[in-house]
Structure 1
Amino acid sequence: MRNGLIIFLIAMCGFEAMAQRQVSTEGDGARKDRRGSSVIDDSTKQVYGPTTTEFTYLRNIKYNNPKSWNVDTLVYDFHKFQFIAQRNNTYQNLGNIGTAFAPIYPTTPDIIGGRIGFNNYDEYYIPYEDIKIYDTKSPYSKFGIIWGGKGRSVTNVEFSRNIDERSNFSFQYRGLYIDKQIERERRGDRMALGHYYNLGGNYATKNGRYKVLGNFSRQNHVVDEYGGIDPGQDTVFILTDYFEENRQGFLSDVQTRDLRTDYHLYQQYKINDQMQVYHEMDRYKQLNDFTNTSSSGIETDTSYFGSFIALDTIPIKDRTKIIHRQHEVGIKGDIGKTFYSFYYKGREVNVDYKYLLEDTLDYGTYYMENYAGFNLRFGNDSTSYIETYGEYLFDENYKLGAKIQNKWFYAEGRSSRYLPTYVQRAYLGRHDQWLNDFESTLNTEIKAGINFKLGGLYLQPEASYNIITDYIYFADRTGEVDSTIRPIQPKQVSGDISIIKGQLKAGITFLKHFTLKTMFIYSEVAGDEAEAISLPQLLINGQLAYTNILYEGNLQLQFGFDFHQRSAYFANAYDASTMQYYRQNEFKTPAYPVIDVFLNVKINRGRAFLKYNNIYERIKQTGYFLTPYYPAQTTILDFGIDWALYD
């Protein structure tokens, strides 16, 4: 903690020195040519800054929704760098950054056709639809470094510059360097090592009729799996056993890997305001490996995997790969305040099971999918509109949805029928084997909410109802399958599952600088197959913070406490060999109040934070769980900074 405070003070001194050397006058609207570099003194006005650097997304261009944002310079919640916190604690992982990551509440896939089914590293990959498309008036660079306690480090780098007023080049890199928190032997003893980057650019003709955007993305994410804490011979769950200093994991020398690459191209031509034509191309590859290099060979880790051997191979390296090539062509346009688009999409799917031959399966692993779809939006105001969309895959699968939103009210309904994933249909590896003839899943959801704001008070109540038919999930099927086979296998229910959720977001500002924010989610699962899904009945988030701007705007700060708690429930467990979360009824994760203390500051264009995680563990002497057998974030100090340059 002392070292973190020293680093923090040094960084703040550096930021303060920068603030004394230059005075920012962002947003003055001045546009002047810059000729080289010079020393900036107190009289120099900065022409370029956050207000001259904008970005948008491909969906805004594709759906004629011309909305852009300035780069994020806010100090508020800057400390929320962990992926769980960024998702309002509605996900679970294995207690460390970079580990397998999954939603608590069931989600609907965007792709209704063939999918590989290894989704637990999706959060660390930025897909093309979420890549920022910049318009900069000057070179823009952003650097961020997070020094988390016990060797948990994250690096972020962004660079973008306009080649001219109609073209741009951008680059982004994120590195995860995450040490083990259990059985760590030395500094640099990694549990997760992830590298992600993307390169992109865009161009428009002088008259703006033709636009083209392209990018390339790559992720290589490797995780050392330890299988959770091994309780040894204890047959009774004792919480303190999982927080002993000499605790040991189930596995050693076991790794999972997620490798992805994506080439994406979008182009459009404007005939007139009422009609444009577009073409979108995407080539995506994902490869998932499970390897076990334990020196004990064939008999390795039987306490975790059992004695069943589905495939007698040495070395142990299970692999599944998918490649899809996709082309979409369509017409679109604006007629008054109404936007329309109609399209055809062809998607070539190629799946490679390392040990399964195609003639042993009752479905194709190399084939073409054909789609037709539409999008309609009534109203160009981003806060008041009605939109609807639909897509049909020519084998009776589909997705259909509609949404209405205004200043006070919003409602949405959607329904989709989508194929099982490939890993749900069939798998053959060292420890696992199955072949299933599953039906497509039908998922229908409706939700509605109210936005109310009065002075410093806001309320946003929301209710949703979700019904899922022919739901597929991984489960501990002990007693249901042959005792010679590992019981963790996919299963499809034969009935309906209903999920009812009530959510309330609320906040109030008082005494000018204090803010109290909360979020409550209440959920119930019902239906003939309700046991297939386990949810916490109550999930609570809260924050009490003091914010202020001092020294004529040169110093911004936010100080406060974050709170999170889930009611006790049977959270999904994790299976390393198949990289899947599965339903279980043996380990009930206890309710536990997670309290973090944070300080965020901004001086000029530099931001920094200090975060002290899980202070309640100092009192309780035991921690908490997001996933059974995996202790979650312990009491630890994190420190991070980022800074932006516009020259």
Structure 2
Amino acid sequence: MRYLFFIIFIFSIKIISAQETGLTTVKSDTLLSEKKDFKQIAKKEKSDKEENITIKDYKIISFSRDTTYLDTTLTIQKEYRYNYLRKDNFELLPLANMGQAYNNLGYDFESQLFYPKIGASAKHFNYLEMEDVKYYNVPTPTTDAMFKTVFEEGQFLDILLTFNLSKRLNYSIAYKGFRSLGKYNSSESEAGNFRTTANYQSKNSRYDIRMHIAAQDLINEENGGLSNKEGQFESGDADFSDRSRIDVNFTDAQTKILGKRYFFENRYKLIRKVKDSTIAEKTSLGIGHVFNYETKYYQFTQNNQNDYFGEAFVASNLSDKAILKTFYNQFSAEFYNSTLGRLKGNLNIYNYNYYFNSTLIVNNESIARQIKGEEISLGANYQKQIGGFNLKGDFAYNLSGKLTGTILNVGASYKIADDIVFSAQLHSSSKMPNFNFLLYQSDYANYNWDNTNTFNKTSTNSLNFNLDTKQFGNASVKITSLDNYSYFAVDPDQIITEGESESQFIKPYQETKAVNYLKVKYQKEFKYKGFALDNTIMYQTVAQSTNVLNVPQFTTRNSFYYSTDVFKKAMFLQTGVTFKYFTSYNMNSYNPLLGEFYIQNTEKLGGFPLLDFFINAKVQQTRIYLKAEHFNSSFSGFNYYSAPDYPYRDFIVRFGVVWNFFS
């Protein structure tokens, strides 16, 4: 699969070269707004209707059916999202190589998924879940492609091709793939995310359908971190400026996630009434069905047993493989009235099978190797716009099964003025922790447990307030309370002697007392002529009887930059410096066997500055990015870590582009 993106790229280039690409005189702030910019796009289609196409006709539809449109502007927010995840990673801290794990600087415990996941959460940041897949509706064939250099021997490319076969039928195909050797020994990463979508709406708007297929694999070499960080890294010894000379804990381990998903949703409106002389819907009653089938496995392999993880049942060819197969059906009925709002009721049936192919026998007794069952729940969704108020809510209650309890989401927003919006959200849920907390089997003796009868459901309750203003900035306050919080940690009863690694004694635990978490975030940008200063600051505190949730108290990101048109407005240019800093704290440690971070309270890390210098430019629909990342690394001290024993990235210059082609 890793080579598929080359095929897609060549195919899309042939399509583009066979047609004349327009949009050659579009300004950065008036994208595709003038008819003359579309005369070249629509040479073969000269109707007045097509000449009136604007950028807002290139629609992107989320899983929850919120609609946005393709944005080809160049802003500081685009700079923050120009990364491997293609999202703002302000609350994340990546390990040294692209595609490795991310440590959390902040948390959002709300989950829209009602059911536990397979686990290996540190490896899933780039795994596209069902709700992450986008759908499209475009008037002309459109290509979105992102390229970026990596860390030694490899490239990154994310390419999407979408087109409407008719006005009501859209198809898309996309692939994100990369390979990066990395600076440190045995840290190579590679991944492939293939997805294809289709969505259709009938001419009378009674029937609509959407579907997607996703196939993903994420592969990482694991080295266990540095084995002599004081002498070879923190000392700044020039002999080890070539990071491949630094000793690591092992060189023969690998983790892999592979998943395949088939998603299908259709709706039919039995009754549909429209307002007189308009197409706006007044009343409708419809039925729907959602089908989702997914298989996934997480695997850790190692050539030879290593004392880093303790004793093993076998001396070589170690392989731990957790498999999860899920089958989900939702049957729903939906009523809409322009006065009463939209109400949807649903019945959910979820079948799951989490298992290992091996059988563990301890003291002549076989340990469970499988968690299998069925969950049945009832749910409801409601949405209503009342003047400046927008109300949303959804609820689900489990009728049978052991994994889940309830989930409740309530949200309300009010538009105080054209540039002031206040919103509040309430979340409450109860469900079992991820499957790897409940059951795990490994060739390493200490990584075997069965907590299916001892672990309780985790209760999450949160209240979030947001104030978005153009003049005063954006502020949010979130209060979260956790009961039976699940985490990985070193066995507190274990005395670790010299020569032993704490990774030999990692176990899952639950905190029986409440954990209360407060997060306050504020963002504001100041502008003067071509200069701008964008600021984001986050404050966090945790009230807990035991230190099971560790976060930095303050995190800040400040970007000072300059924007201007150059070359007679043929190019839009942005250049500046981004400063990021977070206070020191007991940063979570990374465990490569589980693909999880675990709690440690013996070593404080952080408190180091991260400085990036960037030059970004926009020419027509092409955005060009050049960044000197962490350019202060050589003179601010070698104490920068993403996790204990895992250094953050050294200074590196990387570049890339984002293209949009319109045929």
Does TM, normalized by the shorter one, top 0.5? Answer: yes
Normalised by the length of structure 1, the TM-score is 0.85
Q: Does residue 258 of the first structure (1) align with residue 237 of the second (2)?
A: no
CA distance in 2, matches of 1:384, 1:212: 30
Identity %: 19
Normalised by the length of structure 2, the TM-score is 0.83
Q: Does residue 442 of the first structure (1) align with residue 459 of the second (2)?
A: yes
Is the CA contact (8 Å cut-off) linking 2:84 and 2:98 kept in structure 1? yes
Distance 1:389-1:361 versus aligned 2 partners, 3 A rule: farther
Task: Please name the residue that 1:315 is paired with.
Answer: 317
Is the CA contact (8 Å cut-off) linking 2:98 and 2:150 kept in structure 1? no
Task: Please name the residue that 2:218 is paired with.
Answer: 221
Q: Does residue 524 of the first structure (1) align with residue 541 of the second (2)?
A: yes
Deviation at 1:603? 0.7
CA distance in 2, matches of 1:143, 1:84: 14
Distance 1:161-1:360 versus aligned 2 partners, 3 A rule: same
Deviation at 1:557? 1.5
Moved more, 20-29 or 260-269: 20-29
Deviations 1:482-530 (A, max 9, x none): 99993111011111111122222222112x221111111111111323x
Root-mean-square deviation (Å): 3.1
CA distance in 2, matches of 1:387, 1:144: 35
Query: Tell me, which stretches of 5 or more residues in structure 1 are unaligned?
Result: 1-17, 39-44, 185-189
Task: Please name the residue that 1:199 is paired with.
Answer: 196
Task: Please name the residue that 1:5 is paired with.
Answer: none
Distance 1:231-1:329 versus aligned 2 partners, 3 A rule: same
Is the CA contact (8 Å cut-off) linking 1:223 and 1:255 kept in structure 2? yes
Deviations 1:274-329 (A, max 9, x none): 31211111001111110002xxx3xx432x223x22x3264111100001010111
Deviation at 1:147? 1.8
Task: Please name the residue that 1:103 is paired with.
Answer: 104
2:487 to 457, 460, 473: 473
Deviation at 1:23? 3.3
2:600 to 584, 601, 607: 584
Deviation at 1:163? 0.5
CA distance in 2, matches of 1:612, 1:557: 16
Deviations 1:430-483 (A, max 9, x none): 2212222201111111121323333xxx32232222111111100022534999
Distance 1:241-1:628 versus aligned 2 partners, 3 A rule: farther
CA distance in 2, matches of 1:488, 1:549: 55
Is the CA contact (8 Å cut-off) linking 1:75 and 1:601 kept in structure 2? no
Task: Please name the residue that 1:167 is paired with.
Answer: 169
Task: Please name the residue that 1:490 is paired with.
Answer: 508
Distance 1:35-1:544 versus aligned 2 partners, 3 A rule: closer
Is the CA contact (8 Å cut-off) linking 1:26 and 1:47 kept in structure 2? no
Task: Please name the residue that 2:63 is paired with.
Answer: 58
Is the CA contact (8 Å cut-off) linking 2:252 and 2:302 kept in structure 1? yes
Task: Please name the residue that 1:13 is paired with.
Answer: none
- Name the aligned partner's letter for residue 573 of structure 1: S
Task: Please name the residue that 1:68 is paired with.
Answer: 68
CA distance in 2, matches of 1:364, 1:261: 20
2:630 to 614, 631, 644: 614
1:453 to 435, 449, 470: 470
Is the CA contact (8 Å cut-off) linking 1:241 and 1:247 kept in structure 2? no
Deviation at 1:415? 1.0
Matches within 5 A, 1:43-54: 50-54=55-59
- Name the aligned partner's letter for residue 319 of structure 2: K
Q: Does residue 542 of the first structure (1) align with residue 558 of the second (2)?
A: yes
- Name the aligned partner's letter for residue 353 of structure 1: F
Distance 1:91-1:389 versus aligned 2 partners, 3 A rule: same
Deviation at 1:198? 0.4
Deviations 1:41-80 (A, max 9, x none): xxxx9876744422212311xxxx5x33234443544444
Matches within 5 A, 1:550-629: 550=566, 553-622=569-638, 624-629=640-645
- Name the aligned partner's letter for residue 331 of structure 1: A
Matches within 5 A, 1:14-413: 22-24=24-26, 26-28=32-34, 34=42, 50-60=55-65, 67-80=67-80, 81-83=82-84, 86-106=87-107, 107-151=109-153, 153-183=155-185, 191-231=188-228, 240=236, 245=242, 246-271=245-270, 272=272, 273-293=283-303, 297=304, 300-302=305-307, 304-306=308-310, 308-309=311-312, 311-312=313-314, 314-337=316-339, 338-356=341-359, 365-379=371-385, 384-394=389-399, 395=401, 397-407=405-415, 408-413=421-426
Distance 1:279-1:103 versus aligned 2 partners, 3 A rule: farther
CA distance in 1, matches of 2:369, 2:459: 20
Distance 1:183-1:370 versus aligned 2 partners, 3 A rule: same
Distance 1:133-1:269 versus aligned 2 partners, 3 A rule: same
- Name the aligned partner's letter for residue 353 of structure 2: N
Deviations 1:126-174 (A, max 9, x none): 2232222111211112222112353352101110111111111101110
1:463 to 477, 499, 520: 477
Q: Secondary structure at the match of 1:129?
A: helix
Is the CA contact (8 Å cut-off) linking 1:148 and 1:637 kept in structure 2? no
Deviation at 1:370? 0.6
Q: Secondary structure at the match of 1:257?
A: strand
CA distance in 2, matches of 1:328, 1:182: 47
Is the CA contact (8 Å cut-off) linking 1:341 and 1:375 kept in structure 2? yes
CA distance in 2, matches of 1:215, 1:49: 27
Q: Does residue 433 of the first structure (1) align with residue 438 of the second (2)?
A: no
Is the CA contact (8 Å cut-off) linking 1:149 and 1:637 kept in structure 2? no
Task: Please name the residue that 1:42 is paired with.
Answer: none
CA distance in 1, matches of 2:570, 2:260: 42
Distance 1:75-1:480 versus aligned 2 partners, 3 A rule: same
Task: Please name the residue that 2:7 is paired with.
Answer: none
Task: Please name the residue that 2:520 is paired with.
Answer: 502
CA distance in 1, matches of 2:566, 2:52: 23
Q: Secondary structure at the match of 1:486?
A: helix
Deviation at 1:210? 0.7
Is the CA contact (8 Å cut-off) linking 2:459 and 2:482 kept in structure 1? yes
Moved more, 144-153 or 314-323: 144-153
CA distance in 2, matches of 1:128, 1:218: 12
Query: Tell me, which stretches of 5 or more residues in structure 2 are unaligned?
Result: 1-19, 273-282, 416-420
Q: Secondary structure at the match of 2:437?
A: helix
Deviation at 1:621? 4.9
Moved more, 107-116 or 570-579: 107-116
Task: Please name the residue that 2:418 is paired with.
Answer: none
Number of matched pairs:
599
Distance 1:333-1:363 versus aligned 2 partners, 3 A rule: farther
Deviation at 1:539? 0.8
